[in-house]
Amino acid sequence: MSAPAESQRCRIADTGRPEIHTVGAGPWTVRVHPRAVAVVVGLAVVAVALGAVALTLGDFPLPLSRVLATLAGSGSRVDRFVVLDLRAPRVALALVVGASLGVAGAVFQSLARNSLASPDLLGFTTGAATGALIAIVVFGAGAGGTAVGAVVGTLATALVALALLGGATGGYRLVLVGIGLNAILVAVDNYLILRSDLTVATAAQTWLVGSLTGGDRTTVAVVGTGLAVLLVPALGISRRLDLLAMGDEAAGSVGVPVASTRAVALGVGVVLVGIATAAVGPIAFVALAAPQLARRLTGTTGPGLVAAAVLGGLLLLAGDVLGQRLAAPAQFPAGTMTAAIGGLYLVWLLAREWRAGR
């Protein structure tokens, strides 16, 4: 936080500890959670550091000093090509896609009041893939058409999931609906790949594992713009999403327009997942884990969109770096890495919910 005019603390009880922190200037006051701010800054620093390290890795290793020099504008033509054209887009793509998924996950989890309600578990990501595959295989679409297909696929899956859930968003029902939808959509994906010719099938298959290798500047720009634009309404309803956790009636009573908040949240979440998936294919578990981990780290109750975004970007970047280095020169796609790590996390989460008897 850059130094605002005045910083205040509210003391209700004489416990000696300030309980509500605000920063403000003139008539403006904004509530802040010091720990959340510290965590977000910390995570951002780690993400930038990891990004710099990622730029040094690959078939053509570069020392950090040369990477930094290249970023600063000097460096040989080869260095510039490797760092700026090959590696930087990939790092940037990991950050923006991960951030998009983190925000979408936070939005969906708040909406459903359920930490399992992430777009990947609910089948939205698979739905995005199916939409994109239909665009590729049936309509022979290019990049733009694929993206539209993915968004439409996400939206259609979300609507089907909502209809199947019928307003119930309790733990296991949600997971079961997700498993069912995922199974059906995977079958459709397989069918689509089987009936297409080899080149298309190979391209589709590569895309289906969720890999960042195809990232170029245009993709980064599209995903980044989508994220920036959608963050505006997402942050706008963040406080309301937080209040919705008390139940529709309690939230409505304090002045949350419940129906419109829901609609905006759903729209924002679906489009974020659609764009991110269209860009790199389905990435598992980032949307599930980032908001949860962010909430634990910040110790706040709300959707924590900014923290979820930063952590989402960091997780996907870490997954991609691990995938490149773990068994080098063999390369694992980022999606495989996040699925492996995220699977463990899901098992832990389910075990915890099970013990809590929810």
Partner 1 sequence: MTSRLEARGITLAYDQRTVVEDLDLAIPDGSFTVVVGPNACGKSTLLRGLARMIRPAAGQVLLDGAPISSYGAKEAARRLALLPQSPVAPDGITVLDLVARGRYPHQSLLRQWSRADEEAVRRAMGATGVAELAERVVGELSGGQRQRVWIAMVLAQDTPLLLLDEPTTFLDIAYQLEVLDLLADLHAGGEKTLVAVLHDLNQACRYATHLVAVRAGAVVAAGPPSEIVDAALLREVFGLVGEVVPDPQTGTPMVVPAGREARRSGTVASTSP
Tell me which residues touch partner 1 (CB under 8 A): 8, 10, 12-13, 15, 17, 19-20, 22, 27-31, 113, 236, 239, 242-243, 245-250, 252-257, 299, 301
Number of CB atoms found within 10 A of residue 278's CB: 29
Tell me the C-alpha to C-alpha distance, in Å, between residue 193 and each of 31, 127, 137, 284, 287. Answer: 51, 15, 8, 20, 26
Question: Measured from the CB atom, is 19 or 85 closer to partner 1?
Answer: 19
**Checking phi first, is residue 22 left (phi over 0); if not, alpha (psi -120 to 50) or beta?**
beta
Per the listing, tokens 């930038």 go with 48
Q: Is 197 exposed, middle or buried (0-12, 13-18, 19+ CB in 10 A)?
A: exposed
Closest separation between CB of residue 8 and partner 1, Å?
Answer: 8
Question: Measured from the CB atom, is 142 or 299 closer to partner 1?
Answer: 299
Question: Measured from the CB atom, is 82 or 243 closer to partner 1?
Answer: 243
Question: Measured from the CB atom, is 239 or 325 closer to partner 1?
Answer: 239
Closest separation between CB of residue 245 and partner 1, Å?
Answer: 4
Question: Measured from the CB atom, is 31 or 195 closer to partner 1?
Answer: 31
Closest separation between CB of residue 25 and partner 1, Å?
Answer: 10
Collect all residues with Cβ–Cβ distance below 8 Å to 20 and sequence separation of at least 6: 9, 10, 12, 31
Closest separation between CB of residue 114 and partner 1, Å?
Answer: 11
Question: Measured from the CB atom, is 220 or 256 closer to partner 1?
Answer: 256
Helices and strands: H and E segment counts in the chain: 15, 3
Closest separation between CB of residue 164 and partner 1, Å?
Answer: 17
Closest separation between CB of residue 257 and partner 1, Å?
Answer: 4
Separation of alpha carbons 285 and 214, rounded Å: 21
Question: Measured from the CB atom, is 10 or 187 closer to partner 1?
Answer: 10
Number of CB atoms found within 10 A of residue 129's CB: 29
Closest separation between CB of residue 115 and partner 1, Å?
Answer: 9
Question: Measured from the CB atom, is 10 or 41 closer to partner 1?
Answer: 10
Closest separation between CB of residue 18 and partner 1, Å?
Answer: 11
Closest separation between CB of residue 140 and partner 1, Å?
Answer: 44
3-state secondary structure of 282: coil
Separation of alpha carbons 37 and 52, rounded Å: 23
The DSSP line for 293-343 is HHHHHHT--S--HHHHHHHHHHHHHHHHHHHHHTTTTS---HHHHHHHHHH
Question: Measured from the CB atom, is 144 or 247 closer to partner 1?
Answer: 247
Separation of alpha carbons 135 and 150, rounded Å: 8
Give 3-state DSSP helix, strand, coil % of the chain, rounded to 5: 70, 5, 25
Collect all residues with Cβ–Cβ distance below 8 Å to 191 and sequence separation of at least 6: none
